[in-house]
Chain A
Amino acid sequence: MVERRATLGILAHAVMVLGMLIVAFPLYLAFVASTHTAQEIVQAPMPLLPGSHFWDNYVAALTGHGGGAGSNAPVGRMMWVSLVTALVIAFGKIAVSLLSAFALVYFRFPFRGFFFWAIFVTLMLPVEVRILPTYKVVSDLGLLNSYAGLTIPLIASATATFLFRQFFLTVPEELVEAARIDGAGPMRFFWDILLPLSKTSMAALFVIQFIYGWNQYLWPLLATTSEDMYPVVVGIKRMIAGGDSGNEWNIVMATAIMAMLPPAIVVIFMQRWFVKGLVDTEK
């Protein structure tokens, strides 16, 4: 903004604060709900200030002692499952995409164009479209209720492959040639030069893919049947029993708040890298 008028500044801030309130209020309400007893929440009007049961509710959620009508599996375990799943998916996607983009950009092999388009076309097919055949394959391989079953079907990523391909195409040809003259073989070049140059893209992708992995709902819902393999996103749903049964909303909200924390932490700590990876052109 070039103009420096006080009224304009105040207006801009007012709009900003209003927008933030609209976004933040439901989160605040969830937090408030997670600090009261179940009875206090269902009263009308619902209390708008934090209550005194913060510790009780979170411990109950983590250890699985909430006595509601729905599932009361321990959230600690679910968080662990979610964390492992999200990390494996994020790192797996980055590793697989880096290698496939490397192959597509730097090697001449038969049907290279075909493979590129095959990968590209899968961009248009979300997980949901291929979910039944995928389920059949995973179940035939006996991978249901395992980390492998939760992660492997989600690891292949056309988006990430495409992103790395675009990045590799901008790496100057002379760098490849200089490495060849220096005696670096293809994998050495990949490891010593391409990987360090891709650091920021990798960081940006890690943020996106970690959140993607953490927020998976439909696939874990199908691929897991045992409570100790539920990721937390599925767990929240299982806690809410249908119909008129009384739900322990305080425990559900505590779980929801905890489920929000890891992605938020990843975003906050990797923000600088994330932005750099998406806008940086310096090579």
Chain B
Amino acid sequence: MASITLKDVVKRYGTGPKANQVIHGVNAEIADGEFVVIVGPSGCGKSTLLRMVAGLEEISGGTISIGGRVVNDTEPSERDIAMVFQNYALYPHMSVFDNMAYGLKIAKVPLAEIQQRVDKAAKILELGQYLQRKPRELSGGQRQRVAMGRAIVRQPQVFLFDEPLSNLDAKLRAQTRLEIQKLHAELGVTSLFVTHDQVEAMTLAQRMIVMNGGRMEQIGTPEEVYHRPATTFVAGFIGSPPMNLIKGVSEGARFIVDGQALPLPGAAPRAGELILGLRPEHASLSAAGNPGWQLKVEMLEMLGAERLVYCSAGHVLFTVRVEATLVPPKVGDIVSLQAAPDQLHWFDPATTQRIA
């Protein structure tokens, strides 16, 4: 097992003034045996970062160490890592057994040991009866397991997953997610997992790295990221439906949004322009006239167990999540919104950083 250290990691394509920088100095320390998920929208550089750890992309600046050893100039095969690709990248002409054994054969592992390691991996992944099949004779989920088996048999220090679940259907994805969790608990190998899916990130991660535009916005446990998002980006990206982010001006215990003054349960951290964050699930509605923000209902969405109520203050739209069992307000009604004081997030509109 090994830790991974990213220090000021930079990636740019091209050189000179025309260089296109896609990773802007990422720093992170991933502990031995930890399961870390890198999450972000497409094009945020999360896959590039993973591929730099794997050694498939050159590192333009900074250092990456695996197990205390700087690997900037080390070949992928010598970094003691294994990678699971999005489309599995199985060798189409080789049987499942040969796919898993190929890396070991090249490493000149004795045949008996190859046999034993592949058998063990096949047992863990329930692939035993498919060992002689070709990848094209397998279903998507089985191929995915072969790809994981290929990683397991190498007994690496680090597992790298590049969106391994995105080609599976929803049901299989949930199932495989659990399998990966189980596998990690069993093997305890340091893992880096890239995904754009926040549910995958929240459920799998011991800690998660949220990336945007080649920058690391936040690193922390799923609870930290959810309860104390470091930036407005993280606040809007994690959580579904996304957090309400409302630009306004705070004046004492009032927050002025689009000409309307909303009373605050407590004082804002400072006066002046601020962004207020409030998760739809942390607000509740009651009849107009109750203390709270008087808003007009614009739209309703029924999601089964819950209902989304969209209400407006001037031109600003709030989303509120209410239990579906409650009698919903009607479109056009005025309702009163209450927010718990400890569930308000404050961000600086200039830097988008969290204030409180």
At the interface, yes or no: B349 with Cβ under 8 Å from chain A? no
- Smallest CB separation, A106 vs chain B (Å): 14
Interface segment, A160-168, A176-184, A207-215? A176-184
Once the chains bind, are B85 and A178 in contact (CB under 8 Å)? yes
Residues of chain B whose beta carbon lies under 8 Å from any beta carbon of chain A: 54-56, 75-78, 81-83, 85-93, 102-103, 106-107, 136, 150
User: Given A179-B91, A180-B56, A184-B106, 12 more contacts at CB 8 Å?
Assistant: A172-B89, A174-B86, A174-B88, A180-B77, A181-B55, A181-B82, A182-B150, A183-B75, A183-B103, A183-B106, A192-B102, A193-B93
- Smallest CB separation, A276 vs chain B (Å): 14
At the interface, yes or no: A282 with Cβ under 8 Å from chain B? yes
Within 8 A of B (CB), among A27-45: none
- The residue of chain B having its C-beta at the shortest distance from the C-beta of A195 within the complex is B93
Number of A-B contacts (CB under 8 A): 61
A interface, by DSSP: helix, strand, loop or mixed? helix
Once the chains bind, are A177 and B85 in contact (CB under 8 Å)? yes
Within 8 A of B (CB), among A181-205: 181-184, 188, 192-193, 196-197
Hey, which chain A residues are within 8 Å of B78, CB to CB? 183
Once the chains bind, are B91 and A181 in contact (CB under 8 Å)? no
A172, A175, A183, A196: which contacts B107 (Cβ < 8 A)?
A: A183
Hey, which chain B residues are within 8 Å of A179, CB to CB? 91, 102
Check A181/B77 contact, CB under 8 A, given A172-B89, A175-B91. yes
Once the chains bind, are B56 and A177 in contact (CB under 8 Å)? yes
C-alpha spacing A178/B92, complex, angstroms? 12
C-alpha spacing A183/B87, complex, angstroms? 20
Hey, which chain B residues are within 8 Å of A172, CB to CB? 87, 89
- The residue of chain A having its C-beta at the shortest distance from the C-beta of B77 within the complex is A183
Hey, which chain A residues are within 8 Å of B93, CB to CB? 193, 196-197
Check A180/B89 contact, CB under 8 A, given A188-B106, A192-B102, A282-B136. no
Residues of chain A whose beta carbon lies under 8 Å from any beta carbon of chain B: 172, 174-175, 177-184, 188, 192-193, 196-197, 282-283
- The residue of chain A having its C-beta at the shortest distance from the C-beta of B85 within the complex is A174
Once the chains bind, are A182 and B136 in contact (CB under 8 Å)? no
Check A175/B102 contact, CB under 8 A, given A180-B75, A181-B82, A183-B77. no
C-alpha spacing A177/B162, complex, angstroms? 12
Once the chains bind, are B54 and A181 in contact (CB under 8 Å)? yes
C-alpha spacing A175/B85, complex, angstroms? 9
Once the chains bind, are B89 and A182 in contact (CB under 8 Å)? no
Once the chains bind, are A174 and B77 in contact (CB under 8 Å)? no
C-alpha spacing A259/B89, complex, angstroms? 47
Task: List the 5 shortest-distance A-B pairs measured between CB atoms, nearest first.
Answer: A183-B77, A174-B89, A182-B103, A178-B89, A196-B93
C-alpha spacing A179/B93, complex, angstroms? 14
A177, A183, A197: which contacts B89 (Cβ < 8 A)?
A: A177
13 pairs of residues in contact across A and B, judged by CB atoms under 8 Å: A172-B89, A177-B83, A178-B89, A178-B90, A179-B91, A181-B55, A181-B76, A182-B77, A182-B102, A184-B106, A196-B93, A282-B92, A283-B92
Hey, which chain A residues are within 8 Å of B56, CB to CB? 177, 180-181
Hey, which chain B residues are within 8 Å of A183, CB to CB? 75, 77-78, 103, 106-107
B55, B87, B136: which contacts A174 (Cβ < 8 A)?
A: B87
Hey, which chain B residues are within 8 Å of A282, CB to CB? 92, 136
Hey, which chain B residues are within 8 Å of A180, CB to CB? 55-56, 75-77
Hey, which chain A residues are within 8 Å of B92, CB to CB? 197, 282-283
Hey, which chain A residues are within 8 Å of B88, CB to CB? 174
C-alpha spacing A283/B56, complex, angstroms? 23
- Smallest CB separation, A104 vs chain B (Å): 21
Hey, which chain B residues are within 8 Å of A283, CB to CB? 92
